[in-house]
Amino acid sequence: MAGKKDTKKKKVLFVGDTHAEFAFMNYALKELKPDVAIVVGDFGYWRKSDFEESGTEPGYFFDSLVNDQTKVYFCDGNHENHKLLRELVAEHGSDKPIRIRKRLYYMPRGSTLKLNGKRYLFVGGALSIDKEFREPGKTWFPEELLTEPEVKAIMKTVDLDKIDVMVTHTVPSVGIDDVCKACQLQRDWLLGTVSEDNLQLLFERLPRVRDWYFGHWHQTAEFTVPRSRVNFHMLNMTPYEGCLRGKGYSKKRLARVEKEYMERLEAEAAAAEAEAEAVPEEALGSETPEAAEVPAEKPEAAGGL
Ligand SMILES: [Fe+2]
C-alpha cells in the first residue's frame, strides 16, 4: 500500500505578467500565502544574476521567498531572455520544471505539473509588438514565437487527453476576438498570430481542459468560446486590477489585495510629493538643478506586449 498521502488541497495563485517588477508579487504572496504561484509569462528572466540566492537588490525576486512556503512557477512570455531559457532546456529537458533557485522554477514549453490531482500543461511564447525598438539577442529573441514544430513535438511527447489546465502566455486563435474586444483592439491591427495559431492546434486536441490561464495582453477578461467547455482567464499585468486569479481564494479576496496594494502605492506617492513640497525653495538653490541621470532601464520595463 502506498504511503499516507497529503490530501490537503494546495492553494494556487495565478499571477499576470510581472515584467521583472516583483514588488507586487512579493506583496501578494505575503498576503495570500499560496502554496504555489504560477506566472503566466513575461516573468522577466533577463539575467541569471537577478535570481541568485545571494541577491541583495531591495524588492527584487528574493523578497518573495520571505514567506518560505510558496513555490513559484513561470512559463515564458515574449519578454524574457530566450537564449538563457534555451540553454536551461538544453541542459535539463523540456518536460518538467527547471529549478532556477530555491522555490523558483521555469516551466518550458511542453512541461507539466500535477497540482491537486489536476495535470497542468505549460506552453509559453508570443510576439513582441515592440520588437523593432529592441535589440536582437539582448532584449529581443526570435525564439519568442511558439512554432508549429514545437507544438508538434508537444503533441508527440505529452498525453494531451490527460491535461486538465492550460497555462500559456497568449491565447489560442479561437479566443482572439474576445481578447480584442476586452483590449479595444481591431483584429487587423495585430502584427501576426503565429503563436496563437499554433496554440490553436493544441486547443483542438485537449478534451479535458476546462481552465485556460494566460496573460500577455495587459487586460483582464473571462470568456468562453462556442462549442467548447474551456473557461478562459485573461490576467492583467501586475500590479493592475485583474492580475490575480486563484484556487482556494474568493474573487473578492484577490480583488482586495490588488486594491490595497494600489492604495498603498498612491499613499506613498502622495507622501513623497508632500515631502518634496515641504522643502523650502532656498534649500533647492538658485540655479535649475540638472536633470537627474536616468538609470538604464531594464529592457522589460520598456513596455509593449
Ligand atoms: Fe507578453
Beta bridge partners of 74: 39, 106
CA of residue 19 to ligand 1 center, whole Å: 9
The distance of Cα 233 from the centroid of its chain, to the nearest Å, equals 13
Indicate the helix (H) or strand (E) that contains 265. helix 251-278
Calculate how far, in angstroms, residue 194's C-alpha sits from the geometric centre of ligand 1.
14
- In the DSSP assignment, the letter for residue 208 is T
- Determine the distance separating the centroid of ligand 1 and the alpha carbon of 53, expressed in angstroms: 26
Ligand 1 centroid distance, CA of 126 (Å) = 6
pLDDT values of the chain reduced to their tens digit, one per residue, 305 residues: 444 566 789 999 999 999 998 889 989 999 999 999 999 999 999 988 888 776 565 546 665 555 678 999 999 999 999 999 999 999 999 999 999 988 899 999 999 999 999 999 999 999 998 888 899 999 999 999 999 999 999 999 999 999 999 999 999 999 999 999 999 999 988 888 999 999 999 999 999 999 999 999 999 999 999 999 999 999 999 999 999 999 999 999 999 999 999 999 999 999 999 988 887 666 555 444 444 343 344 555 445 77
Residue 82 Cα to ligand 1 midpoint, Å, equals 13
Domains, the chain, ranges and CATH? 12-264+296-302 (3.30.750.180)
Task: Compute the distance from residue 219 Cα to the ligand 1 centre, in Å.
Answer: 11
Residues around the ion ligand 1 (C-beta < 5 A): 42, 77-78, 216, 305
CA distance 122 to 191: 24
Q: How far is the CA of 237 from the centre of ligand 1 (A)?
A: 9
Task: Supply the pTM of this predicted model.
Answer: 0.89
* Structural contact between residues 22 and 46, judged by C-beta atoms closer than 8 angstroms: no
The angle formed by the CA atoms of residues 127, 131 and 134, to the nearest 5 degrees, is 140
Ligand 1 centroid to residue 66 C-alpha, Å: 27
